[in-house]
Structures are given as C-alpha cells and as structure tokens.
C-alpha cells in the first residue's frame, strides 16, 4: 500500500476537479537514491531526460531556458550545489519503475475509474532539482499526483476555469501544439492556493490547472504519476473542436456551461478524427 486509507477516501471526494494533499509511503524508497537515479537515467532513451539551469523566473520563456553545462550524471550527483532542474520522463520504460507506478495508481484505481472512466497512458516523471530552483508557470494535459520524496517545495495552483488566467483561445492553442509554459501576472496571485509539500506528502493536480513550483532550500526529488482518462480525452476533444469552429469564423462559447453541447462537440471531433485517418 502506497497511499493511506484516509487519503484514498479523501481522494474519492476531490477527484477529478479539486486539488488535494495525500499521504504516501515512498519517502524512504531506495529507488530515489541519487546513484539509483543515475542508473535509471542511463536506462531511459536519451530524449527522455531534460535538464537545465533551475535559476529561472516564474515567467521563463521556454525558448531561452539556460543550460547548466553539465552531463546528466554530473547534474544528478552534484544536484545539491549545481543550481539545476531535471526531469526523467516516462520512467515506465524501466520495468522496476513501471511496477512502482502501477502500485501507486493501483491504490487509487477504483476511485479513478468511478469518477473519470477507464484510465490509460500511465506515465511517471521524476523531478530532481537543486535548492531554491523554480519550475515556471505552466499547465499539463493529464491527471497528475505529485509525490514529494525528498526536500520541500511549494506548489501554487490556480483555478482551471478562470478565463482571466486561461482563455478559451489559450486552451485551444495548447491542444494544437502550444508550449506548456504560460504567462504569469501578479494579479493572478489572489486566486492561487499554495500547497507546501514535504517528504511523504503528495498533491493531486487537476487536469490543466495552471501551477508553478518553488523549491525549498534543500535538494528536492519528487515523483509525478500521471494518467489519461475518458474524461481528460473528452476535455481535449472539446477544445480541439472549438478551435476548428473558431477558425471557421464561429464563436464556439465556453466549455462547461452546456454539457449537451460539449458532448456534441466531443463526439463531432471524434468523428472528424476517424474520417481523417
Ligand atoms: Fe506541472
């Protein structure tokens, strides 16, 4: 068992729309020792390792993110002092980590499927970051639980349906190839909820809820477990349909206000996708 019974009960009440802090039992797991993570980084396809300087502002332009000048192994082993940010992507390529990911998600499987239907594309990401590094403001397309293993971080999460932060056009641009990073404005701050994560704590982040992360003053290691569902696919399809309608000069309106219209758009996009294959 990875998550506590209380966390599982609370998760059922909050998933999929609301953020929630959960308790887990991975903080002493040896799969997150730095030497073991070097081994993992060597077993992954090289395009699955991304790293850079972690000394960036919350509004970092993804085109100009500075490099740290080190190899992957050097970055991991000297993470305490090199001022870097690294992610090992799709750790499910490695059988041992795949099994770990499945244990985590299996723990919450019944709650997930009851709320959002069949789950698939289970993917894991390990973030290794230096003291005080920043993950800029962005959103992600999947259901996500960020599990803090070592060190501390504060994640600020913003509402997903606030058009001042995320306009319909931004949703559509994101699903048609736009970058995950977003522009952060000071006036958003009153709408943020800050979650302080310590080892043994995890945070459920709803699909596409904008967020940014500030590390504490120690090295941080966290595991992000993600999955897609019938519901997250449908959400994407509605925005993709809206994008087509907008390009044809129509005003597709906001999602969420008219469930029947949203269903029709998602269905319409599915048909178009099938026809275009
Ligand atoms: Fe994220």
Same domain, 122 and 239: no
153-157 sheet: strands from edge to edge:
134-138, 211-215, 153-157, 193-197
CA 250 to ligand 1 center in whole angstroms: 32
Q: What is the pLDDT along the chain (277 residues), one digit of tens a residue?
A: 999 999 999 999 999 999 999 999 999 999 999 999 999 999 999 999 999 987 877 887 877 888 888 999 999 999 999 999 999 999 999 999 999 999 999 999 999 999 999 999 999 999 999 999 888 899 998 999 999 999 999 999 999 889 899 888 888 888 787 777 778 999 999 999 999 999 999 999 999 999 999 999 999 999 999 999 998 888 888 888 888 888 888 888 777 778 888 888 888 888 888 888 8
Rounded to 5°, angle at Cα 174 from 112 and 59: 105
Integer Cα distance of 157 and 214 in angstroms:
12
Same domain, 238 and 206: no
Domain encompassing residue 254: 233-276
CA 157 to ligand 1 center in whole angstroms: 10
Integer Cα distance of 100 and 92 in angstroms:
9
**Rounded alpha-carbon distances, angstroms, from residue 55 to 80, 106, 131, 192, 248:** 13, 36, 10, 22, 42
Same domain, 147 and 242: no
Same domain, 96 and 155: yes
CA 209 to ligand 1 center in whole angstroms: 9
Q: For the chain, list the strands marked E by DSSP.
A: 20-23, 49-53, 84-88, 119-129, 134-138, 143-150, 153-157, 193-197, 201-205, 211-215, 220-229
Same domain, 205 and 264: no
CA 182 to ligand 1 center in whole angstroms: 11
Beta bridge partners of 87: 50, 127
CA 248 to ligand 1 center in whole angstroms: 32
CA 194 to ligand 1 center in whole angstroms: 14
CA 1 to ligand 1 center in whole angstroms: 25
| Residue 272, Cβ density class (10 Å: 0-12 exposed, 13-18 middle, ≥19 buried) | middle
Beta bridge partners of 58: none
In eight-state DSSP terms, residue 221 is: E
Number of independent structural domains in the chain = 2
Integer Cα distance of 129 and 230 in angstroms:
33
CA 255 to ligand 1 center in whole angstroms: 22
Same domain, 41 and 173: yes
CA 168 to ligand 1 center in whole angstroms: 20
Rounded to 5°, angle at Cα 23 from 97 and 122: 35
CA 268 to ligand 1 center in whole angstroms: 29
CA 90 to ligand 1 center in whole angstroms: 14
CATH of the domain at 54: 2.60.120.650
Same domain, 95 and 14: yes
pTM of the model: 0.89
Same domain, 27 and 164: yes
Instruction: Compute CA 4 distance to the chain's CA centroid, rounded to the nearest angstrom.
Output: 22
């Amino acid at each position: 068992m990875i998550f506590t019974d209380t966390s599982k009960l609370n998760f059922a009440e909050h998933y999929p729309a609301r953020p929630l802090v959960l308790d887990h039992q991975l903080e002493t797991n040896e799969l997150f020792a730095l030497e073991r993570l070097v081994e993992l980084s060597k077993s992954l396809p090289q395009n699955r390792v991304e790293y850079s300087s972690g000394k960036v502002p919350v509004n970092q332009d993804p085109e100009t993110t500075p490099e740290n000048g080190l190899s992957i192994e050097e970055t991991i082993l000297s993470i305490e002092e090199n001022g870097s940010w690294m992610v090992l992507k799709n750790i499910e390529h490695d059988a041992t980590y795949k099994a770990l990911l499945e244990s985590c998600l299996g723990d919450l499987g019944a709650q997930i499927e009851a709320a959002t239907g069949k789950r698939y594309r289970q993917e894991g990401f390990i973030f290794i970051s230096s003291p005080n590094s920043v993950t800029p403001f962005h959103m992600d397309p999947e259901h996500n639980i960020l599990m803090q293993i070592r060190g501390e971080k504060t994640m600020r999460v913003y509402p997903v349906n606030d058009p001042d932060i995320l306009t319909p056009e931004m949703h559509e641009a994101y699903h048609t190839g736009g970058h995950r990073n977003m522009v952060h404005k000071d006036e958003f701050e009153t709408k943020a909820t800050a979650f302080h994560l310590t080892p043994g704590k995890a945070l459920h982040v709803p699909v596409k809820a904008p967020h940014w992360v500030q590390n504490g003053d120690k090295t941080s290691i966290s595991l992000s477990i993600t999955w897609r569902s019938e519901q997250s696919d449908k959400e994407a399809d509605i925005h993709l349909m809206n994008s087509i309608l907008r390009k044809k000069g129509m005003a597709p309106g906001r999602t969420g206000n008219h469930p029947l219209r949203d269903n029709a758009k998602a269905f319409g996009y599915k048909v178009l996708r099938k026809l275009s294959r």
